Amino acid sequence: MSKTLVSPLKFVPLASSALRLWHRGEVMSLGNVPPDRTLLDLLREDLRLTASKEGCAAGDCGACTVVVAEAVDGHLHYHAVNSCIKPAHAIDGMALWTAADLAQPNGTLHPVQQAMVACHGSQCGFCTPGFVMSLFALYQRTVAHGQAVDSHSAHQALSGNLCRCTGYRPIVQAACSLRAEPGQAVDEKAIVAALQKLADTEKTGANYLRPSTLPALLQARSQHPTAQLIAGATDAGLWLTQGLRRLPQIIDLTRVAELRRVVHYPQHIAIGAAVNLQDAFEALAADRPVIMPFGERFAGWPVRQSGTLGGNVANGSPIGDSMPLLIALGAQVVLMAWRKGRAVHRHVPLDRFYTGYRQSLLAADEVLAWVVVPRPAQGEWLGAYKVSKRQEDDISAVCLAVQLHVQDAHVTAARIGAGGVAATPTRALQTEATLIGQPWSEVTLAAAQRAIAQEFSPLSDLRASADYRRQILGQLLRRAWLESTEHNTVRLEALA
Ligand SMILES: Cc1cc2nc3c(=O)[nH]c(=O)nc-3n(C[C@H](O)[C@H](O)[C@H](O)COP(=O)(O)OP(=O)(O)OC[C@H]3O[C@@H](n4cnc5c(N)ncnc54)[C@H](O)[C@@H]3O)c2cc1C
Ligand code: FES
Ligand code: FES
């Protein structure tokens, strides 16, 4: 099927190449889709596929959730995606399902829809298509491969969906009751074959550039200095829907093969800029398990599946969650550019990367290619804490990460990363100095608490007052002391 779309008045068309998708058993090729058209607007306004709803248009509520699948090594990888903030071209070459695509032609509901009915998981129904799609992605990742859904994976899969009337218990119950039904399997072989054909056809066009190799990305960055570089677009997508900005030319780095990898070295791991947040946190947690519950507080599942660690670091929000952790771990970023006909790179320690509010050392022609994280040395203790109003799908008021080495009851090394307390993610150098060489005692803790309260001058805003932020910094240090000295063996996350 080939269509040329006429964009509604709201969006002045910007020339772009065809967008190819597998949908309902056939490949669609859509012409004239502007580079900054969101997937939700494409579905609802251009294609009149209205099953996906618009709630917040900010990636928060999940009403717009669709499922996309990418063919990787002959298998489909399924992702629940917030279509409201995803540029439509970002899913070029993938398979797409909306809530209208699950039931069979004779009306038989898909098991995820049937479970929602059986568990009374819907009232007004506005959020329901989004929940159903998150459940469908979960079903394809687990139940379709013979795995049962436990309560933790149900909560994770649904963490990006909000419901204002049903309450979550019946929906979680629906998730945990999922069983594979014969006759409902996705024909993965046929879809992979269709997607493979799309991958073999070169995508052309100048306004949505999607390089597949690192040299091609660096050359595109150097040749198109005004183009907007994006990764998962979980920040950049909001500039379209909330900032009403236009992005006439986009460079999307998510298909760059070299940057889709996590590489493990004896002394460090290198996380490519196209690795999504969920995979990045899992890679970091393999060495330091305490990182997983911290990572699971980052946004909700769909944002962690789309957004990247590189995007979080490059965006440089003072309330970004990964940077305090990475600063505490002594991470570096590798910045790359194409200069004088070749790729050049430099390493910058993350605690020296930021130069001001959302400003960094990244030059106009550079790309953040890798985040390099040292592996734990013998005797390392790590605590990472996020304080926000909601447990899931919320931005930090304060974030604190503490890395300590304690020998013979004395602190021999300390690195502390903090977020939400300054114009940039930052390192608490003065507080570290009160710890190093001191006995790891309540007296030293008190000195460190006084130091951290004075080291920063946080702002008061809708998330927290300056006083609260100062106090909570000290309290989080206390929590680190309790946990690291085993005065407190109860992890709050475990109480859930
Ligand atoms: C609902 C919701 C919840 C969120 N919750 C959290 C949260 O809990 N904690 C948190 O920290 N953030 C949160 N965010 C913000 C966002 O998800 C993260 O900042 C994410 O890591 C951004 O990554 P991305 O790949 O989507 O970046 P993009 O949106 O694609 O890009 C963001 C910026 O970084 C630049 N950029 C991206 N990659 C590179 C690169 N490799 N080199 C150079 N520049 C680059 C882009 O040019 C752009 O300026 C949330 C967002 C949403 C929508
Ligand atoms: S409309 Fe709320 S997440 Fe997309
Ligand atoms: S059923 Fe009404 S918002 Fe969820």
Q: Does the structure show a pLDDT above 90 at 329?
A: yes
Provide the CATH number for the domain around residue 331. 3.30.465.10
Shared domain for 113 and 101, answered yes or no, is yes
Q: Among 68-77, 343-352, 388-397, where is mean pLDDT lowest?
A: 388-397
What's the mean pLDDT in 296-301?
A: 96
**Cα–Cα nearest to 297, from 270, 326, 322, 263:** 322
Among 374, 408, 437, the domain-final residue is 374
Shared domain for 165 and 302, answered yes or no, is no
Shared domain for 243 and 200, answered yes or no, is no
Shared domain for 7 and 135, answered yes or no, is yes
Atom of ligand 3 lying closest to residue 122 CA:
1
Give the per-residue pLDDT at 10: 39
Question: pLDDT confidence of 63, banded at 50, 70, 90?
Answer: very high
Give the chain's count of helices (H) and strands (E). Answer: 17, 20
User: 368 in ligand 1 pocket by Cβ < 6 Å?
Assistant: yes
Among 205, 221, 254, the domain-final residue is 205
**Cα–Cα nearest to 304, from 104, 447, 157, 460:** 157
Shared domain for 246 and 363, answered yes or no, is yes
Domain count within the chain: 3
Shared domain for 110 and 175, answered yes or no, is yes
Q: Which ligand is nearest to the CA of 167?
A: 3
Shared domain for 448 and 329, answered yes or no, is no
Q: What does the alpha-carbon distance between residue 170 and residue 117 come to, in Å, rounded to a whole number?
A: 10
Range of the domain at 406: 381-495
Q: How far is ligand 3, taken at its centre, from the CA of residue 304, in Å?
A: 23
What's the mean pLDDT in 189-200?
A: 91
Shared domain for 420 and 490, answered yes or no, is yes
What is the SS3 assignment for 247? Answer: coil
Question: pLDDT confidence of 9, banded at 50, 70, 90?
Answer: very low
Average per-residue pLDDT in the chain? 93
Q: What does the alpha-carbon distance between residue 6 and residue 12 come to, in Å, rounded to a whole number?
A: 10
User: 87 in ligand 1 pocket by Cβ < 6 Å?
Assistant: no
Question: Roughly what angle, to the nearest 10 degrees, separates helices 169-176 and 128-141?
Answer: 30
pLDDT tens for each residue of 201-221: 656 567 999 999 999 999 999
User: 230 in ligand 1 pocket by Cβ < 6 Å?
Assistant: yes
Shared domain for 199 and 214, answered yes or no, is no
Among 190, 205, 220, the domain-final residue is 205
Q: How far is ligand 2, taken at its centre, from the CA of residue 93, in Å?
A: 23
Q: How far is ligand 1, taken at its centre, from the CA of residue 170, in Å?
A: 32
Structural contact between residues 429 and 327, judged by C-beta atoms closer than 8 angstroms: no
Atom of ligand 1 lying closest to residue 230 CA:
30
Provide the CATH number for the domain around residue 58. 3.10.20.30
Instruction: State the number of CA atoms in the 13 A half-sphere of 71 facing the CB.
Output: 21
What's the mean pLDDT in 356-377?
A: 97
Shared domain for 226 and 200, answered yes or no, is no
Shared domain for 193 and 270, answered yes or no, is no
Shared domain for 40 and 160, answered yes or no, is yes
Q: How far is ligand 2, taken at its centre, from the CA of residue 55, in Å?
A: 5
